[in-house]
């Protein structure tokens, strides 16, 4: 199991974390950050092939390097131009693909509180998993740390603006699925922030 690291953000990138820079992003210049106000965190899941873990296919997809011949299910997705800001693998390892200050192409057709095009004002985090299979404890641990770090850096991301892909595209997406324990995650996030306040 890989070592759990302390998460820090510098100029939109996690420090001491693996970076695989995706070409699938839109530059979010500083005036846009101020006006669009990054205020939404979207949690997704992904596995390639479906239900299989521990390979490099997700990274290949987000880098535009997925070989359509590698698996029969890849023929329809190999040419997609998609990305997320980060992926949290089953062992807790985090890979960042797009700067948080830029727009990753993760949300698609979406809407949050009446505002469309959620990529414009959101950050997207992928969990390696499926709608049905339980996520690992270290994934929750890393997601909690990452979320708290993002909220410190982008304070408009409030607890009530942390949602699943299913919440912003309900007729199209189901992730992170019924297997994601929202109550446990929210309690873990609260406990972590309370602990930090007490230790100040």
CB 176 within 8 A of CB 162: no
Q: Which one is catalytic: 52, 72, 126, 128?
A: 126
Give the whole-angstrom CA distance, residue 98 versus residue 118: 16
H or E segment at 180? none
- Distances in Å between the Cα of 53 and the Cα atoms of 73, 117, 120, 122, 129 are 15, 30, 30, 26, 8
Give the whole-angstrom CA distance, residue 191 versus residue 197: 10
Is 126 labeled as catalytic in the residue annotation?
yes
CA angle, residues 19, 184, 174, in degrees to nearest 5: 65
Question: Which residues belong to the active site?
Answer: 126
């Amino acid at each position: 199991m890989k070592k759990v690291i302390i998460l820090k953000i510098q100029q939109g990138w996690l420090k001491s974390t693996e970076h695989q820079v995706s070409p699938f992003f839109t530059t979010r210049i500083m005036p846009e950050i101020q006006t669009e106000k990054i205020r939404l965190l979207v949690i997704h899941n992904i596995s390639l092939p479906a239900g299989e873990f521990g390979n490099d296919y997700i990274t290949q997809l987000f880098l535009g390097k997925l070989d359509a011949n590698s698996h029969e299910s890849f023929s329809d997705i190999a040419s997609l131009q998609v990305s997320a800001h980060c992926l949290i693998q089953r062992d807790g390892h985090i890979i960042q693909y797009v700067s948080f200050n830029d727009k990753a192409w993760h949300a698609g057709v979406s809407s949050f509180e009446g505002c469309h095009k959620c990529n414009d004002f959101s950050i997207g985090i992928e969990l390696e998993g499926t709608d049905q299979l339980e996520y690992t404890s270290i994934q929750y641990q890393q997601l909690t740390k990452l979320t708290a770090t993002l909220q410190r850096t982008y304070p408009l991301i409030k607890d009530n603006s942390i949602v699943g892909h299913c919440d912003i595209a309900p007729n199209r997406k189901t992730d992170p699925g019924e297997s994601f324990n929202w109550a446990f995650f929210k309690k873990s996030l609260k406990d972590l922030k309370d602990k930090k306040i007490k230790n100040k």
